[in-house]
Amino acid sequence: MALRPIRMVKVGLLGLREDEERVLTILHDLRVAQVEPLTPAAMAELAPERGSETLRRVGDETLRFRGLLSALPPAGTAAPRRFDSLGDIFRAAQSVPIDAEVGELKREDDRLLTEKKAATDTVELLEAMAFYRDRLDLLRSANFLSFYGEAPTEGFEALRASLPAEADARFLLGPTADERVRFLVIARPAGSEALSRAAQSRGVRLTAVPPLHGTPNEELVELRARLDTIAERRRAIAGRLREIAEQWYPFVAAVDEALEIENRKAEVLAKLGASRATFALEAWVPARDLERLRAVVTEAAGGRVHFYEVPTREEPPTMMSNPSGVRRFEFFVRFYSLPQATEWDPTLVFAIAFPIFFGFMLGDWGYGLTILLISLWMIAGFPGARYLPKAGKNFVKMIMGPQGMQQLAYALLPGCGLAIALGLVWDEFFGIHLFGLLFGYTTPLDPASKAGVPVLLLFAGFVGLGMVVLGFVFGALKEYFHHHPRGVVAKSGGILFAFGVAFFGLSVIHKQTSFGNPLFDLYLALLLAGLVLLVFGEGVQMGMMGLIEVVSHILSYTRLVGILLASVILALVINSIGSGLVYGGTALGILFGLVILIVGQSFNVILGVFEPGIQGARLIFVEYFSKFYSGNGRPFRPFGAARRHTVSSIGPDGGVAKGPILQGPES
């Protein structure tokens, strides 16, 4: 479990041109090197690597096979295929004879889909204007234009009253249903613009009558028959494409993957340098993978390669390394800002602190169980979400996408568990002392009681002190590792001042402020020492601001209690009003009481997600991160991707696969 991102080293690699493609293939399959442009010092000795004309053919074939894959439905399975050279890839690509047939089938299907859309729209229009029983060609003339419209009764009357005389519009009204009017309107071409403006200003949509000849019923029969024909032909096309896919899809997918790999290697070539006989590249590599990379590449190149470390002051890319459970919380850290490679990774502390803050602020086993079930539903992939109100789904999508919601759900699980545990101890179930009512249970601590609030505030204060001090400890270590001695002094002063102000405040509360008391004198000494060190380390102005920040950040953690009490009191108010109406005995009172209980408690559940979630993350982002965290790191993006349809150049033992491996374009 790492408290820092994985250490990166920048290395250079010098090899022979004849081994270049083999080395790039190994780098692609290892996926441990982020290839960087060569430094100016290296480029002074080499020329940019240009690649070869063969790369253009690779690009053309890639586009061809992407088109085939998009047209064919996934089908068939086969073992990964091996291509021992670029020539093998091209020969495999040339052996695929399905382009013409697949292209023609796909174009025909696209034409039929467009025709189906037009026919479906026309059917809907003719069904709406079925009140017109004459031939449709009577509505088509060079002397007038015809439109179908539908509008609320008030909107239709407003439209008709607002039309100017030059529009010379004539209306044919259909049946009125649900206070909506269906109508046909005929206007002279000179007045069509005025008609369009009037309709648009009143939100009335007009649709041109289609250029058909028979009556609406006659045309509907023909159109529906045509739609059946289209559907039958599209099923035949889909069936033929499935037949082709069963035979060719695995092979096409393998060739496409091989071409994609060559394209990735071509992109990397632009970052390399080369001479007549040699090539060179530079890359960031995790220190833990360097020796394996050196061994595998050296074996692949037959020992004809030289590794060297590149001295640089450049900030390395960031690669975080956390266990699977803690890794769930990397989502929050990335949302705030990715850590730099040379600073602390705060994910572990976030994974511990956030569930504690969330569960403490929720503190009710009814709310905790509800949010736990909702989180499990989100993790399961939102089954049945299509039945939810559209407005609610759109609101949620505005906040976060489905994948982000699932990451949030995973992070809420331990917090919900703690909320359930505390709620059982405190006997809080949707604001009701349920165990007390049923079994006479007496809670050892009632959060809303006169005795409970001071205890919880004291707990929150010590939590704040611990988080602030921990932030200063990480800050002091960061300053030490970066060789900033005055920064170490300032952070150490923050630690002393945090302890001093916390215990001095307790002494004042308990009225133990007499000089000569050893503890009180110690607290004063901590305050003064912290003040001196902060001012010395950061200067007078920044040091004094740091003192205020320490006090405010410790006190800020009392919001843990404030949000807990707000939830408890809101639940009590909802229960008091709702149960009062229910117990009133009248039918209307019972109805309103139940509505208040259901809506009010649902609202409190929503607050139970947002308030503890937002405030819990804020206490970490602001009061804790600000002591040591810079962020703005750049992610580690290694060259390469996983293979699915082709054979990897890396064997099961982690070394070079036996036999020839996939070769790239000859440079």
Average pLDDT over residues 200-229: 90
Tell whether the model's pLDDT for residue 665 goes beyond 50. no
| 75 Ramachandran zone, left/alpha/beta (phi>0; psi -120 to 50) | beta
Q: Strand pairing partners for 646? A: 81
Q: Write down the pLDDT at residue 400.
A: 65
Average pLDDT, the chain: 88
Q: Write down the pLDDT at residue 513.
A: 63
- What percent of the chain shows pLDDT beyond 90? 48
Q: Write down the pLDDT at residue 659.
A: 59
Record the tokens describing residue 71, joined without a space. Answer: 């047209």
Instruction: Please give the model's pTM, rounded to 2 decimal places.
Output: 0.77
- C-alpha–C-alpha distance, residues 598 and 408, integer Å: 25
Distances (CA, A) of 559 to 469, 486, 563, 603, 612: 18, 33, 6, 20, 10
- The DSSP secondary structure of 595-632, one letter per residue, reads HHHHHHHHHHHHHHHHHHHHHHHHIIIIIIGGGT----
Q: Worst-scoring range by mean pLDDT, 45-59, 458-472, 608-622, 651-665?
A: 651-665
Q: What are phi and psi of 282, to 5 degrees?
A: -130, 145
3 state DSSP class of 8: strand
* 85 secondary structure, DSSP code: S
- C-alpha–C-alpha distance, residues 345 and 629, integer Å: 9
Helices 347-362 and 365-379, packing angle to 10 deg = 130
Residues listed for the chain: 667
Q: pLDDT category, 403, cuts 50, 70, 90?
A: confident
Q: Write down the pLDDT at residue 36.
A: 93
Average pLDDT over residues 539-550: 86
Q: pLDDT category, 381, cuts 50, 70, 90?
A: confident
Strand 273-274 to strand 47-48: parallel, antiparallel, or no bridges (unpaired)?
antiparallel
Asked if residues 472 and 501 have their Cβ atoms less than 8 Å apart, the reply is no
CB count within 10 Å of CB 572 equals: 13
Tell whether the model's pLDDT for residue 386 goes beyond 90. no
CB count within 10 Å of CB 257 equals: 21
Tell whether the model's pLDDT for residue 319 goes beyond 90. yes
Task: Of 348, 563, 607, give the one whose Cα is nearest residue 460.
Answer: 563
Alpha helices, H only, 427-451: 434-439
Q: Write down the pLDDT at residue 667.
A: 32
Q: Strand pairing partners for 650? A: 656
Record the tokens describing residue 7, joined without a space. Answer: 């250490």
Strand 180-187 to strand 170-177: parallel, antiparallel, or no bridges (unpaired)?
antiparallel
Average pLDDT over residues 411-428: 94
Q: pLDDT category, 180, cuts 50, 70, 90?
A: confident
Domains of the chain with CATH codes: 111-225 (3.30.70.2750)
